[in-house]
């Protein structure tokens, strides 16, 4: 059933709005792209993970295999960009995306997105600020609540700790699942008591060289995981206990950082004043400060922008640096009418999968014209 927003008059103004945004993005130097609606699903399924997969519409084609109804524009654009072995380029697009919604969620499962993606920018702070500014100015007339974050803060806070790679990786991969992140933090803390008896027994068997004998007792070794994989993991587990990993001061640093929520203008100072700082973290705080300067230079009203270190952690596992969301203040609408951020890591993974040498820096932003229209 067509909803109110699909009535003719609304459709005309919506179409004008889309044209306006595209023109605006093109003026800023972006190339307009048409992206297919049906995407090959295998790569996307592995990339997105279960969280997003459960929300995508998969269509069965007996010959081509499963096809996915476009759940967003970014991934197909990254793929196109890196396959053409491009470095610096900017694109814009407009069209529908499809996402299944929760029963309780009143958001439509089919909606418009218009956006911009910038690749290959060398100056991170400058590019972040530029994309933010383009999106902010495109929705200029609206009184906005703007929240920003920077996943780079937590990433560098972790990367700069004196802990082994296993511990770093474990923390970094759980950044997007806050509850689990705290559990992993606890597990690797120096006074961890999360190693249970069962695990202790296995570790003891391993340390006394008897684990291999135990494994030999199993007649049936099935699946892709091997005995060697098990021995290797138990060796890691044994290491986890021996090496006191996260010190109290490290735990305090991460926990304090997670709590930072302040005006953007104070964010870099707050980070510099946290428990302690290491080179990685200092560099990230500097980037934050530089981005702030760039935003001011672009005439962005930085005083009215919020900053949260934790912001963006529960959304897509997509962004790994600067992130932002814009919501309408009057009338208040909690659904972001625009959002975006930096996703260098996503592009790196896709480049690797596609066997590309280069992996350009990537940042982008989207506007949801229907939300915008609903508040006008």
Partner 1 sequence: MKLAIPSKGRLKKEVLSWFNHKGVKILTSEDNRSYSASVIGFSDIQLFFLPPIEIPMLLSKGSIDIGVTGQDLVEEKIPNWDKYLIELIELGIGHANLVIAVPEFWVDVNNLEDLDDVSKIFREKMGFRLRIATKYQNLARKYLKDFGLADYILIDSQGATEGLIENEAAEVVIDISSTGQTFKSNNLKVLQIDPIKKSQVAIFSSLKCNKEILLSEKNRLFFEKLSINLKDFYS
Looking at the Cβ atoms of 85 and 314, the one nearer to partner 1 is 314
Residues in 47-66 that interact with partner 1 by CB under 8 A: 49-51, 53-54
Q: Which two tokens stand for residue 11?
A: 């459709």
Q: Quick one: which of 194, 255, 273, 301 contacts partner 1 (CB under 8 A)?
A: 194
C-alpha distances in angstroms, 17 versus 11, 71, 113, 269? Answer: 10, 22, 11, 39
Q: Quick one: which of 28, 145, 168, 199 contacts partner 1 (CB under 8 A)?
A: 199
Residue 227 in contact with partner 1, rule: CB under 8 A: yes
| Pairing mode, strands 89-98 and 31-32 | parallel
| Pairing mode, strands 333-342 and 322-328 | antiparallel
Residue 7 in contact with partner 1, rule: CB under 8 A: no
Beta-carbon count within 10 A of 352 CB: 11
C-alpha distances in angstroms, 338 versus 4, 97, 124, 268, 372? Answer: 21, 15, 20, 24, 9
Residue 187 in contact with partner 1, rule: CB under 8 A: yes
Looking at the Cβ atoms of 46 and 293, the one nearer to partner 1 is 46
Q: Quick one: which of 38, 221, 241, 249 contacts partner 1 (CB under 8 A)?
A: 221
Residue 234 in contact with partner 1, rule: CB under 8 A: yes
Nearest C-alpha neighbor of 343 from the set 306, 371, 315, 370: 315
Cα–Cα distance, 158 to 172 (Å, whole number): 7
Region binding partner 1 by CB under 8 A among candidate stretches 71-79, 127-135, 156-164, 226-234? 226-234
Residue 335 in contact with partner 1, rule: CB under 8 A: no
Q: What is the DSSP letter of 30?
A: P
Whether omega for the bond prior to residue 68 falls within 30 degrees of 0, making it cis, is no
Q: Quick one: which of 46, 110, 123, 299 contacts partner 1 (CB under 8 A)?
A: 46
Q: Quick one: which of 3, 208, 220, 357 contacts partner 1 (CB under 8 A)?
A: 220
Can you give the binding site for partner 1, defined by CB under 8 A?
Answer: 45-46, 49-51, 53-54, 102-104, 169-170, 173-174, 176-177, 179-181, 183, 187, 194, 196, 198-199, 202, 211, 214-215, 218-225, 227, 229-230, 232-234, 237
């Amino acid at each position: 059933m067509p909803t109110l927003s699909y009535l003719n008059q609304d459709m005309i103004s919506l179409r004008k709005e889309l044209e306006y945004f595209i023109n605006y993005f093109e003026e800023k130097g972006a190339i307009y792209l048409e992206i297919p609606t049906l995407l090959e699903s295998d790569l996307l399924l592995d990339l997105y993970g279960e969280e997003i997969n459960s929300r995508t519409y998969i269509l069965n084609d007996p010959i081509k295999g499963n096809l996915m109804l476009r759940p967003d524009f970014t991934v197909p654009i990254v793929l196109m960009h890196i396959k053409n072995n491009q470095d610096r380029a900017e694109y814009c697009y407009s069209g529908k995306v499809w996402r299944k919604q929760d029963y309780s969620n009143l958001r439509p499962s089919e909606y418009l997105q218009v956006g911009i993606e910038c690749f290959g920018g060398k100056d991170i702070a400058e590019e972040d600020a530029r994309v933010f500014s383009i999106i902010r100015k495109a929705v200029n007339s609206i009184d906005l609540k703007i929240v920003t974050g920077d996943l780079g803060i937590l990433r560098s806070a972790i990367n700069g700790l004196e802990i082994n790679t296993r511990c770093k990786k474990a923390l970094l991969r759980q950044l997007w699942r806050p509850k689990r992140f705290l559990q992993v933090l606890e597990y690797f803390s120096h006074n961890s008591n999360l190693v249970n008896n069962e695990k202790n027994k296995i570790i003891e068997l391993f340390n006394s060289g008897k684990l291999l004998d135990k494994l030999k007792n199993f007649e049936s070794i099935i699946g892709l995981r091997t005995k060697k994989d098990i021995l290797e993991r138990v060796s890691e587990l044994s290491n986890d206990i021996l090496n006191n990993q996260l010190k109290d001061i490290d735990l305090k640093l991460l926990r304090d950082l997670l709590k930072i929520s302040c005006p953007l203008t104070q964010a870099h100072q707050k980070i510099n004043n946290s428990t302690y700082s290491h080179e990685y973290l200092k560099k990230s705080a500097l980037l934050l400060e530089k981005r702030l300067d760039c935003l001011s230079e672009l005439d962005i009203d930085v005083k009215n922008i919020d900053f949260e270190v934790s912001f963006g952690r529960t959304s897509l596992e997509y962004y790994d640096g600067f992130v932002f969301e814009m919501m309408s203040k009057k009338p208040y609408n909690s659904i972001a009418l625009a959002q975006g951020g930096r996703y260098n890591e996503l592009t790196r993974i896709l480049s690797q999968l596609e066997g590309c040498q280069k992996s350009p820096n990537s940042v982008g932003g989207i506007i949801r014209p229907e939300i915008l229209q609903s508040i006008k």
